[in-house]
Amino acid sequence: MNDQPSAAIEVERLSFTYAGREQPAVRELSFRIRAGEWVVLAGATGSGKSTLLRALAGLIPHHSHGRMEGSVRLFGRDTRATSASELASTVGLVLQSPDDQLTSTSVAAEVAFGLVNLGLPTKEISAGIAAALAGVGLTQMADRSTAELSGGQKQRLIVASLLAMRPRVLLVDEPLSQLDPVAADELLSTFDELRAAGMTIVAVEHRLDEMFAKADRVLVLTDGGLLGEASPGDPALTTLFDKARLRLPDLPQVMHTLGKRPMPRVDDALAMLARRESRDSHDSYSRSNSDGAPRSNGKVLLSSKQLSFAYTRRGLPVLRDVSFDLRDGQRTALVGPNGAGKSTLLAVLAGLHRPTAGTIVCGDANASDNHVARDRDRSQRTSRPGLVLQNPDLMLFCDSVRDELALAPRERGLDERAVDIMIEQLAGQIGLANELDSAPLALSQGQRLRVAVAATLALDSPVLLLDEPTMGQDADQVDRLFAALPDDQIVLFATHDVRAITRHARRVLVLADGVLIADCTPAQLLADDELLAKARLRLPPLLELRRRLGLAGLTVEALSRELES
């Protein structure tokens, strides 16, 4: 017997204005989502996606100050008239950062949290924990500490803690943004299984390439209103994205450029293109990319020779005999699985740790002894590479963007006139000229990253190191950041983002267990399945299509041209 209404979510003329604000964050929204449907909410920053998710979860109006008009009904029940615990057993909410959501230090206790809140008896709680962990493939981890889990496992643990409460709707707010490609795949597979079991999924996500391949429908929001809706392969979606100034995922974009339906799945796109996969596609693809290791004739500006490092005197080495040169103007991606030593390598190169063996030469100076524990002379600071940490927010501590950019040149002893000129130049270059008097932490996520980068460029170091600059950023922000960097700036960036590698790197260093296992071009990396697996990378749909058709282009533009010809 199935007495469920067909609509899982019904939103009627929903508007919400936060307390102290005049403009509503969402306005006059009306739509229905069927039970078992997977819907993606797309929209630019500030379009109201997260507010809408909070309203769907019942946190608005129960836990938010502001004025709500209209209604949200979950399976026919108005969220206003439903208690918080009843809502919690109907709808679950997964947020961006798993670390920020964990309430406990034990896996089982984390899952128990919601069940205890429901006031269930002990036996039911224990049974619920076991079932929920089995549902996300974490049964073996039940006895572990949450600190032992990877980012992907933590996110699945949050999902398990919600599943234990048996919700029928799962709301996810950028759940992939902090995950590497393999962990993101695992989480999406979990969502897939849940949807197959009848769960309704509503997702906000910047990584649309992966999400579009799974979703049934996309709702496009702009300025708090609903611009329209379409299925991922519907040409109408292209128009909606244009109007909302959003970037289509790469594969649909190529299909649209070719005048085809913007199919997000590779199999559908292949069928649509009516091109057969060449039997020897992989061979020709590999041959086309076997052009040897990347070559550059520029001057060597950063050299790492036999670099080794361990955190403690008797501890296992985190880096072992890492040797490479970076030349003038070269942009290089540093890839590898979590724990491979990428962040440690960047920290050692920047002087946050003293190498246990080996040498670092930056410019013409030996930088091996210029590290945080020893550096006394700030005038020597430019002989080290500049590093932007994984969380750029922790690098911003001045009152205004102007002060952030002025910090390094002032402390180097530049006169105020020279400092002003430098600030204007950097701000213009990085697209922050209109934000010089803004408080850095009040800016958008992409802008905050650019402030941290500009403040590091102000060190005037020949080498810029970026630790996971793509983490939590949408593709446009990443493109804007790299476009803003000077052409002659050497950049070494650690990343898991294959799209960023193909668009912004000419060379790739692959690190595994602290050892440099490959030094190649992006195309060579993509041609080598073993290397991709070792680096825990996955081909996004566009590059999967490229591989299956044996094409050579790496970007949307190049592949579109190749397919047109």
Partner 1 sequence: MSAGAFTAARGAAWLEDLDPRMKLCWLACVSLLSVVLDSVVGLGVLCALSSVVITGLRMPARAWGLLGFVLAAIVWGTILSQGLFYAAEPRTTLVTLLPPWNLGGWQLGGLRLYREGLTYGLAQSLRMIAVTLAGLAVCLSTTPPRLLAALTWLRVPSAIGFMTVASLRFVPLVLGEYQTVRQARWLRSGARQGINTRPWQPFAQMRVGIALLVPVIAAALRRATALATSVAARGFDPAARHAPYPPLRMRLAEGLALAALLATTGAIVAAKVLYWLYVGEMYYRPTLRPLYELARSWM
Between residue 105 and residue 134, which ones bind partner 1 under the rule CB under 8 A? 105-109, 112-119, 121-122, 125-126, 129-130
Neighbours of 416 (CB within 10 A): 10
247 lies in the binding site for partner 1 (CB under 8 A): no
Among 72, 218, 230, 389, contact with partner 1 (rule: CB under 8 A): 389
Secondary structure element (H or E) that encloses residue 119, with its range: none
Which of 22, 143 has the CB closer to partner 1?
143
Residues near 550 by beta carbon (within 8 Å), at least 6 away in sequence: 277, 278, 280, 281, 282, 284, 285, 288
Q: Which two tokens stand for residue 272?
A: 């649509």
378 lies in the binding site for partner 1 (CB under 8 A): yes
Among 4, 30, 45, 103, contact with partner 1 (rule: CB under 8 A): 103
558 lies in the binding site for partner 1 (CB under 8 A): no
Cα–Cα distance measured from residue 351 to residue 353, given in angstroms and rounded to the nearest whole number:
5
Residues 319-358, interacting with partner 1 (CB under 8 A):
350-352
Report the nearest approach of partner 1 to the CB of residue 336 (Å): 21
Residues 510-549, interacting with partner 1 (CB under 8 A):
none
Show the site string, 76-95: x = touches partner 1 by CB under 8 A, - = not: --------xx-xxx-xxx-x
Q: Which of 153, 160, 152, 113 is closest to 134 using CA atoms?
A: 160
Angle between helices 541-549 and 281-288 (to 10 degrees): 100
The answer to whether 32 and 9 are in contact (CB under 8 A) is: yes
**DSSP state letters, 413-443:** T--HHHHHHHHHHHHHHHT-GGGTTS-GGGS
Q: Which of 56, 49, 47, 66 is closest to 11 using CA atoms?
A: 56
Choose the binding region for partner 1 from 98-106, 203-211, 283-291, 504-512 (rule: CB under 8 A): 98-106
Which of 346, 511 has the CB closer to partner 1?
346
Place of tokens 């984390």: 110
Among 18, 35, 75, 104, contact with partner 1 (rule: CB under 8 A): 104
Show the site string, 398-417: x = touches partner 1 by CB under 8 A, - = not: xx-------xx--xx-----
Which of 63, 243 has the CB closer to partner 1?
63
Report the nearest approach of partner 1 to the CB of residue 445 (Å): 11
Q: Which amino acid is at 353?
A: H
Choose the binding region for partner 1 from 31-39, 389-397, 427-435, 510-518 (rule: CB under 8 A): 389-397
**Total site size for partner 1, rule CB under 8 A:** 80
Cα–Cα distance measured from residue 48 to residue 227, given in angstroms and rounded to the nearest whole number:
12
Residues 154-213, interacting with partner 1 (CB under 8 A):
158, 161-162, 165
144 lies in the binding site for partner 1 (CB under 8 A): yes
Choose the binding region for partner 1 from 3-11, 294-302, 388-396, 502-510 (rule: CB under 8 A): 388-396
99 lies in the binding site for partner 1 (CB under 8 A): yes
Report the nearest approach of partner 1 to the CB of residue 352 (Å): 5
Residues 36-75, interacting with partner 1 (CB under 8 A):
54, 57, 59, 62-63
b/e for 512-546, b at 16 or more Cβ within 10 A?
Answer: bbbebebbbbbbbbbbbeebbebbbbbbbbbbbbb
Q: Where are the alpha helices (DSSP H) in 351-411?
A: 401-411
CA of 449: how far to CAs of 200, 396, 398, 481, in Å? 34, 10, 14, 8
Rg of the chain over all Cα atoms, to the nearest angstrom: 25
Report the nearest approach of partner 1 to the CB of residue 365 (Å): 14
Which of 271, 418 has the CB closer to partner 1?
418
Which of 233, 440 has the CB closer to partner 1?
440
Among 387, 453, 490, 556, contact with partner 1 (rule: CB under 8 A): 387
Which of 105, 323 has the CB closer to partner 1?
105
Show the site string, 454-493: x = touches partner 1 by CB under 8 A, - = not: -xx--x----------------------------------
Among 4, 6, 45, 145, contact with partner 1 (rule: CB under 8 A): 145
Total length of the chain = 565
Among 5, 13, 78, 147, contact with partner 1 (rule: CB under 8 A): 147
Longest dimension (CA), the chain: 80
Residues near 20 by beta carbon (within 8 Å), at least 6 away in sequence: none
Which of 365, 483 has the CB closer to partner 1?
365
Residues 356-375, interacting with partner 1 (CB under 8 A):
372, 375
Instruction: Assign 228 to helix, strand or coil.
Output: strand
Cis ω before 61 (30° cut-off from 0): yes
Choose the binding region for partner 1 from 228-236, 247-255, 270-278, 453-461 (rule: CB under 8 A): 453-461
Cα–Cα distance measured from residue 394 to residue 467, given in angstroms and rounded to the nearest whole number:
13
Cα–Cα distance measured from residue 148 to residue 339, given in angstroms and rounded to the nearest whole number:
12
Among 236, 380, 416, 483, contact with partner 1 (rule: CB under 8 A): 380
Place of tokens 């081909």: 539
Residues 251-270, interacting with partner 1 (CB under 8 A):
none
Secondary structure element (H or E) that encloses residue 366, with its range: strand 365-366
Among 101, 238, 278, 560, contact with partner 1 (rule: CB under 8 A): 101
Which of 112, 478 has the CB closer to partner 1?
112
Choose the binding region for partner 1 from 22-30, 142-150, 314-322, 415-423 (rule: CB under 8 A): 142-150
The alpha carbon of 71 is separated from its chain's Cα centroid by a whole number of angstroms, namely 33
Among 102, 240, 527, 532, contact with partner 1 (rule: CB under 8 A): 102
